[in-house]
């Protein structure tokens, strides 16, 4: 399986959904797709409901989320 370059499919534009990352050419946010997956939706269910998306769009959302989590900084706050 080849690695998805999320930059080819995910875009951020301050004029679209106030700058939230979205699937290019849509107003469907990465956050929304990740939420659907977290709620148990399958790729097939998402693709059926949003037939203008592709499996690679969904994989790009996951790759984006993965990269953001890898670069996230966590600071422990003492009690």
Distance CA 76, CA 78 (A): 6
Domain count, the chain: 1
**Residue 79 included in any domain:** no
pLDDT (0 to 100) of residue 1:
63
Residue 15 inside a domain? The answer is yes
Residue 75 lies in a domain: no
Q: How far apart are CA 50 and CA 48, in angstroms?
A: 6
Query: Does residue 73 lie within any of the structural domains?
Result: no
Q: What's the confidence (pLDDT) of residue 63? A: 96
The DSSP secondary-structure symbol of 33 reads H
- pLDDT of 3 reads 81
> What are the per-10-residue average pLDDT scores of the chain (79 residues)?
87 96 97 98 98 97 95 87
Q: Which domain holds residue 25?
A: 6-65
CATH classification at residue 44: 1.10.10.10
């Amino acid at each position: 399986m080849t690695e998805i370059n999320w930059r080819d499919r995910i875009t951020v534009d301050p004029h679209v959904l106030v700058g939230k990352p979205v699937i290019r050419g849509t107003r469907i946010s990465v956050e929304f797709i990740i939420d659907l997956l977290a709620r148990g939706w399958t790729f097939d269910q998402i693709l059926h409901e949003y037939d203008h998306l592709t499996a690679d769009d969904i994989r790009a959302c996951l790759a984006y989320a993965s990269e953001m989590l890898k670069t996230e900084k966590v600071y422990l706050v003492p009690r």
